[in-house]
Amino acid sequence: MKSLLALSGLLALSSAAAVAPQKVSYDGYKVFRVSVGKDVARVKGAVDKLGLATWMGGPRANANADVVVPPAQVDAFLAEISGLPTVTMHEDLGASIADESGFSTYAAGSANDTWFNSYHSYADHLQFLKDLQSSYPSNSEIVTSGNSLNGRPITGIHFWGSSKGKPAIVFHGTVHAREWISTMVTEYFAYYLLTNSGTSEVQGFLNKYDFYIFPVVNPDGFVYTQTSDRMWRKNRQAVSGSSCVGHDINRNWPYQWSVSGGASTNPCDADFKGKSQGDAPETSALSSWLQSTKKSQGIKLYIDWHSYSQLFMTPYGYSCTALATKNTELQSLAKGAAAAIKAVYGTSFATGPICSTIYKATGNSVDYTQDVIGADYVFTAELRDKGNYGFVLPASQILPSGQEAYAGVRYLLQNMK
């Protein structure tokens, strides 16, 4: 009987080992920035031939292509793109990730500005929000906007001034799992506004609006970046008929989802749009929450925070010719926010509609919130940097990123009608 139990235990351990995800190693990988110019076909051909991953979308004319290359394919890739201007963003991506991921130990109950000295585990992010809320119990609460595929609450913090129920300011972070700086920056907004709620300026903001800040709206994907694959982008949803996993929840919103050219129909691609609009649980939950909030109190401002490229953008992503109803005002506000950002540390943000400023993106949250929800002001931002580090931004840039981004938010709060 003992031997049977022992054998049973060994089989169980073997089975667990078989299904446990193996952590993806990027040791020795290089990230190259290629100036594509007019050679789109050549760069795309090299990427496709070698099966390489790209950051910030695939190769486009007169743009940069940031390409992730395994050590064994470096020589082949460089031969394929010979003659094109190329710089190395990461000499060893694995080493950059190791430097970035040195999480500091967070002591529960110590929500202070040292939080912004490093990146953190998902569990610590939840604890930080709870600790921040507990410091301001009379004018804040922890809220959720639904659950992820794997049952994790999409957790945020709601705070206000003299009363609740005013027009809402809504910020989403970490829609794409690998964009860790967006988690930290949105948390900085909550931290700054609450810790400065005694000042006349911030009191004015809080007395005029309710703030809802959701630092991680893709919790399953975010956890996966910390346990298995730092470069993961999508959620963790299985796709029928494919061995590939994940929906891009910012290509899955139920508006202009069917327009071609702004997302992939291939489940293996990073921007896979899903089998049908709104079929990602996270997208469904977030859209329902926005609808409810719009109905109950109205939405004054919505910003979806991403990285990287240093852009402050307006609708639309689904079309490069369609313009939002208040486009002139939106462009003016975006330029003002960018100027306010630059005034802090000299960091330049370009502005304009999503499609013409970065690339076509269908089924995105901004277009949905603009036209379906009918929020008063809608933007999306791509935070630091422009390509020196990309998604693996050093922790030393967390606090300045938050400070300059808040300057942009402050401009909007002061100038929205």
Strand order in the sheet with 64-69: 53-55, 64-69, 30-35, 86-90
Beta bridge partners of 183: none
**Residue found under tokens 């989403």:** 172
Of 100, 179, 282, 382, catalytic: 382
Cα separation of 265 and 243, whole Å?
14
Distance of CA 228 to the CA centre of its chain: 18
Is the Cβ–Cβ distance between 144 and 272 less than 8 Å? no
Distance of CA 151 to the CA centre of its chain: 20
Is the Cβ–Cβ distance between 392 and 97 less than 8 Å? yes
Strand order in the sheet with 153-159: 140-147, 153-159, 210-214, 168-172, 299-307, 377-383, 311-314, 350-353
Task: Please state the three-class secondary structure of 110-162 as a single string.
Answer: CCCHHHHHCCCCHHHHHHHHHHHHHHCCCCEEEEEEEECCCCCEEEEEEECCC
290 Cβ contact partners less than 8 Å away, ≥ 6 residues apart: 170, 299, 302, 369, 373
Q: What share of the chain is helix, strand, coil (3-state, %, to 5)?
A: 40, 20, 40
Q: Does the annotation count 282 as an active-site position?
A: no
Cα separation of 192 and 409, whole Å?
12
Q: What phi and psi, each to the nearest 5 degrees, are found at residue 13?
A: -65, -40
SS3 323: coil
Cα separation of 244 and 17, whole Å?
20
170 Cβ contact partners less than 8 Å away, ≥ 6 residues apart: 212, 213, 214, 290, 293, 299, 301, 302, 303, 375
* Residues carrying an active site annotation: 382
